[in-house]
Amino acid sequence: MASDAITTMGTCMFDDAVMAAKLPAAVVQRFNECLVSGAPTPEDDMKIIADTMFAWARERGAIDFAHWFFPLRGGGGAVGGMLGAFKKDTLMDLEFGSKYITKPMKACLPAERLFQGETDGSSFPNGGLRVTHSAAAFTTWDRSSPPFVMDACLYIPCAFVTHFGKCIDEKTPLLRSMDAVTLHGLRLLKNIGIGTDAKCMFSYLGWEQEFFVLSAEHFKARPDLVNTGRTLFGKLPTRHQQGDLNYFQAIPGSVQKLLDVVQAEMLKIGCPMAVKHNEVAPGQHEMSPVFRAANVSCDSNVCFMEVMNREAAKLGLQVLFHEKPFAGINGSGKHANWSIGTDTGLNFFYPGKNEAGAKLYVTAIACLSYGLAQYNEMVRCTVASAGNDHRLGAQEAPPAIISLYPGQGFEAFVESICSGGDLLGYKAEKKKQSTGCSAAMHIEANVEDRNRTAPFPFCGNRFEFRAVGSSQNCCLPIMVCNAIMSAGMAHLSSLIEGGMSHRDAVAKLYSENKHVIFTGNGYSAEWPVEASKRGLPNLNTTPKAVATWSSEKNTKLLETLKIYTKEETEARQEVMYENYISCMCCEVETMIQMVETGYMPACAKDLEKFKGFDKLAGGRKAVYESIVDELEKLKSLIAAKPHTSLADEATYLCDTVKPQMVALRAKVDKAESLMESSLYPYPTYEAMIYSHHF
């Protein structure tokens, strides 16, 4: 059979199977034991692993190696390829054992450089944890994430910490949260007498990545897309998504070619890209893999975005990962399908086919409801960004109010538990539904329906965090999911260890936290009113959300779980503010530039053509002059931006400057509908969305 993407699957990933085949069994055993205990890999084993990995990588054409890590760059996927960070080192070193003064070079992968690297931490966002005169920071291999070879480079997934061990990256807190899941998950299993043979816990992630594709030529001709990742001006084409014509339609040929190439590349490095399809908006698409361990899945998502950018450029295309690149049509998200389970195969979010499984399921959702209710603001913070503010709360994405949807039947079952009922009795079996025709068999469906308006709905064996933005790194949202789940498991364990029965402890958690459960329409006007009555916060902008991040309650939890120190929590908040402010300021500056150098000259040329034809000119003069008025207002407002604190600056940009940006855009978009098309200075929505489809 001819070689294809499936036959080369996993051939460029140094995974457990490769280690088992190429390393001595004792080395593999010690390596795996260190993964569980956290102990350093023995020096002798480090050399054996490095030498073996070097030979394996060279067989796959590797010339360089790189420590690959994720700085705190915010929604780096919005513009360009600013996602992962690395520098390439050639697979060679001096032969220090040589007798010659001028030491010859040898091809190798030095063991100490496989496991650790050093770089400048002050040049990355760090929230004050690094400064120019105290800049040292270190990369260290995440030993649970397999290295891979791509484009003649061996990539080593890494954590990134300061000289004093403070995390200044996305991954380190995620890895710490996975340790917390193991600690408190095993503790809970012991207390409820279920799955006590488990030795380790895992969190899992399956992401669904949405994105837009357009011509690279059009992208480069739009300063707003180049600078900010989204269009700051532009009116909708006559046909957009009102006819539901794009969803699951045939993928355009140029895009199909891109997706096929990317799928093949991802399969080689062991990322099982399983789904590709057209999304709702024209020009919008989605790809998603089979779920994997959370840290490995997060690595794969960043790699996927980088590969998409690189391969699109080769085909004359550009991928947009911004949450809202085009106003008026659907934006993009990254649904994060999250679950936790044991090394023995127990899934905490699977309803179970026996009593133990059923009890564990009901218990796990009690823990999750506790976490979501008690740390609601922290969950909201994980999806807060300037880009996602355009998407959350619209009729295309979950509201900014964080609630839990376990299903309507389960909600009723919770009430029975709170009233003294048993933990058993929830009917989670699949139902059979007739199609009403003889040619098509009946379908089997989950007893609970899907709720697309919920930020945290149940999906059969996992929960889907639907509020995650398309440009985000998944690490922060999944870290907090792990953290709040660990908080719930720890709290329930404490109740049981204090003498309360399993049933009563679960009932107590539900009774005190069921207000976070909502099974209605999250898009309805009534929900924000009802949420307020329940005491659920509606943090509908990024500055409002970020202000809650380092609250005493959140800081204490993250410290207790050993995910963040107080200093690290505050540093992360500072970076959140800085990312928001820099994004907003870049958008304002780009708007001013585009109006002054593009739209105003075009308006003047258009108006000149109507001299002596006042009736034909219609309202052009008034509309064009109003652009100048709104532009001057925007300039005045941005000049008055406060510098008292990051919080004040972010709030001012959101509450005062952003509405004026909307006002200016409205005038410019109106001008587009009046202006002679040949004078319009930038590619239109219609050209950008549709031209590469033909």
Q: Is residue 80 in a domain?
A: no
3-class secondary structure, 318: strand
**Is the pLDDT confidence value at 80 over 80?**
no
Say whether both 516 and 611 belong to one domain.
no
Say whether both 547 and 619 belong to one domain.
no
Say whether both 493 and 628 belong to one domain.
no
Q: What is the pLDDT of residues 461-514, one digit of tens each?
A: 999 999 999 999 999 999 999 999 999 999 999 999 999 999 999 999 999 999
Name the residue range of residue 597's domain: 579-693
Q: Is residue 3 in a domain?
A: no
Ranked by mean pLDDT, which of 89-103, 157-171, 626-640 comes out on top?
A: 626-640
Say whether both 551 and 680 belong to one domain.
no
d(CA 390, CA 319): 19
Look-up of token digits 């059009």: 218
DSSP at 457? B
Q: Is residue 525 in a domain?
A: yes
Distance of CA 321 to the CA centre of its chain: 11
Assign residue 150 the CATH number of its domain: 3.10.20
pLDDT score at 442: 87
Q: List Cβ neighbours of 549 (8 Å cut-off, separation of 6 or more).
A: 377, 378, 381, 569, 572, 573, 576
**Element spanning 15, H or E:** none
Say whether both 315 and 344 belong to one domain.
yes
Q: Measured between alpha carbons, how far apart are the two ends of the chain, in Å?
A: 33
Which of 535, 560, 578 is the last residue before a domain boundary? Answer: 578
Q: Is residue 11 in a domain?
A: no
pLDDT score at 636: 98
Averaged pLDDT, 403-422? 96
Structure tokens belonging to residue 217: 């030529």
Q: Rounded to the nearest 10 degrees, how much is the dihedral formed by the CA atoms of 190, 193, 194, 196?
A: 50
List residues bridging with 85 in a β-sheet. Answer: 69
Q: What is the pLDDT of residues 555-586, one digit of tens each?
A: 999 999 999 999 999 999 999 999 999 999 99
**Is the pLDDT confidence value at 245 over 90?**
no
Which of 578, 602, 636 is the last residue before a domain boundary? Answer: 578
pLDDT score at 432: 84
Q: Is residue 180 in a domain?
A: yes
Say whether both 41 and 97 belong to one domain.
yes
**pTM score, whole prediction:** 0.95
Assign residue 587 the CATH number of its domain: 1.20.120.1560
Output 7 or 588, whichever has higher pLDDT.
588
Query: What is the tally of structural domains in the chain?
Result: 3
Which of 548, 563, 578 is the last residue before a domain boundary? Answer: 578
State phi, psi for 322 to the nearest 5 degrees: -60, 150
Q: 51: exposed, middle or buried (C-beta count within 10 Å: 0-12, 13-18, 19+)? A: middle
Look-up of token digits 């062991």: 270
Q: Is residue 171 in a domain?
A: no
Say whether both 160 and 248 belong to one domain.
no
Q: Is residue 583 in a domain?
A: yes
Say whether both 593 and 569 belong to one domain.
no
pLDDT score at 683: 96
Q: What is the pLDDT of residues 134-189, one digit of tens each?
A: 778 899 999 999 999 999 999 999 999 998 999 999 999 999 999 999 999 999 99
Say whether both 674 and 625 belong to one domain.
yes
Say whether both 145 and 214 belong to one domain.
no
**Is the pLDDT confidence value at 81 over 60?**
no
Say whether both 584 and 571 belong to one domain.
no
Say whether both 370 and 245 belong to one domain.
yes
Q: What is the mean pLDDT of the chain?
A: 93
Q: Is residue 517 in a domain?
A: yes
Q: What is the pLDDT of residues 505-522, one digit of tens each?
A: 999 999 999 999 999 999
Q: What is the pLDDT of residues 182-228, one digit of tens each?
A: 999 999 999 999 999 999 999 999 999 999 999 999 999 999 999 99
